Structure 1
Amino acid sequence: MPVGVVVRKSPGVTRWAKWSWKAVAILPGAGPADWAVLRSEGDNVEYHAATVPLELWSTDTEAYLTAISDQIPCVYVVMRPTDGTDIPYDVLLITASPYEAQDYADSAEELVEKIPMTEGLVAWVRDFANAHHVDEEFIKRRRDKKRIDQKEDGRGDARISQATDVYRAPRRKQTGAIH
């Protein structure tokens, strides 16, 4: 489903950032856009930054069910900084999976914004998840009987023979000749 992303530009609150950019809304079913001005009020400007496809995958239904079961169901907009042109961010993607959004947020290279879903979008995601979700049976992992506490591989420096301080640095051997 094509989804438009609305980005708000407002004055920065610190002397280091002249402007603050934030994805604030979505437009399900929107047409193509390229930073079209939607409205302007003083220094605040809202843009229809881009329209990107919201793709749902049958393997991610558990994540979608998690997203729509939140108190406020949300989608996540991922934006990547540009190279300093007039357009500060490229809208990379929109996802209904909180797990995928977390992966992008962990890298700290992209800006990830959480935006509430519209009722129609919630119904669309719910219908998809219900149609494709398959519960996976939990399989408890069994440990093998191998004892790994008997040997200390990789601990300390192998060139040090004494067991008292395995973390100290090795010394050069004294040759007896004085230079």
Structure 2
Amino acid sequence: MADRPLDGTGERDDGGGQAMRPTAIVERVEVGIVLERRESRHPWLDFAWKPVAAIAGAPARDPRGDWPVAAQGDDWIHFHAGTLTLEMFRKETEGYRVNLSQDPPRLFVVLRDPEDPEVDHPIVPILVTACPYEAQDYLDSGSDLVEPVAMPPELVAFLRDFVERNHVEQPFKKRQRRPYDPRKVGFAGSGGPAPVERPRGRPAGDDAPGDEE
């Protein structure tokens, strides 16, 4: 399931080409991200998007490329919206333990506007993490959307084993970040669809509610 452990120091990239911090990457697992596109009931919006599932060991797929349809219904479609590398770090085992104490444990998917006219998607997944503290950091940035999905059972077992092998208790010190609240992770608060929706065109001369002359 995982790549062979790395001995060197890797740099975590934030998806925008800038490393967040250097830390030892110990394990890697490829994870497919399933995004749901659902018709919106909002008068000015066409679709709502949110991640709904993760696939452990999924084949490689560029999130900025084509998305094959995984399933569909009357007003929704599920896409395999790319495969990302889930990285596990020794220094993040505290966050993993918090995650594993939840029912169910979750993966956190970071979504971002590609801001590229050659990418035919309004939003793309750029990172998946099992650390709720890292997810909160991205959420606090205000520029990304962060949504949880249930962690596949095989990844729960793998992460639990990773924590047992690598966690070292640290002396208590006050954290700078806010306490993790699983009810608040996700742009939509309680797990509703992220409001990453394409605006419908307004009739000429019409003003949206709240517009001022």
Give the TM-score, by structure 1 length.
0.74
In structure 2, relative to structure 1, the CA distance for the partners of 1:15 and 1:56 (3 Å cut) is same
- Shift >6 Å, 4+ stretches: none
Which stretch of the first structure deviates more once superposed, 29-38 or 73-82? 29-38
Following superposition, the deviation at residue 109 of structure 1 comes to: 1.2
Q: Which runs of 5+ in 2 are unaligned?
A: 1-28, 175-213
Question: Among 34, 38, 46, which residue is 1:10 paired with?
Answer: 38
Equivalent position of 1:55 in the other structure:
87
Q: Does 1:114 align with 2:142?
A: no
User: What is the alpha-carbon distance in structure 2 between the residues aligned to residue 7 and residue 63 of structure 1?
Assistant: 25
Cα shift at 1:114: 0.6
State the match for 1:44 in structure 2.
76
Distance in 2 (CA, whole Å) between partners of 1:39 and 1:137 is 48
CA–CA distance in structure 2, aligned partners of residues 66 and 104 of structure 1: 18
Query: Which residue of 113, 121, 135 maps to 1:101?
Result: 135
Q: Which residue of 1 aligns with 2:103?
A: 71
By how many angstroms is 1:138 displaced?
3.0
Q: Deviation string for 1:84-134 (max 9, x for gaps)? A: 653111211100000000011112211111111121111100111110100
Report the equivalent of 1:175.
none
Aligned residues: 140
Specify the code of the residue in structure 2 equivalent to 1:63.
G
Q: Extract unaligned runs of 5+ from structure 1.
A: 141-179
Name the SS of the counterpart of 1:10 in structure 2: strand
Structure 1 residues 31 and 82, CA, compared in 2 at 3 Å: closer, same or farther? same
Partner Cα separation in structure 2 for residue 52 and residue 99 of structure 1 = 19
The equivalent of 2:166 in structure 1 is 132
Higher CA-based Rg: 1
TM-score, L = length of structure 2 = 0.62
Deviation string 1:44-84 (CA, Å, 9 cap, x unpaired) is 11100010010000010000011011121111000101236
* Aligned residues with identical type, % of pairs: 39
Deviations 1:124-154 (A, max 9, x none): 00111110100012369xxxxxxxxxxxxxx
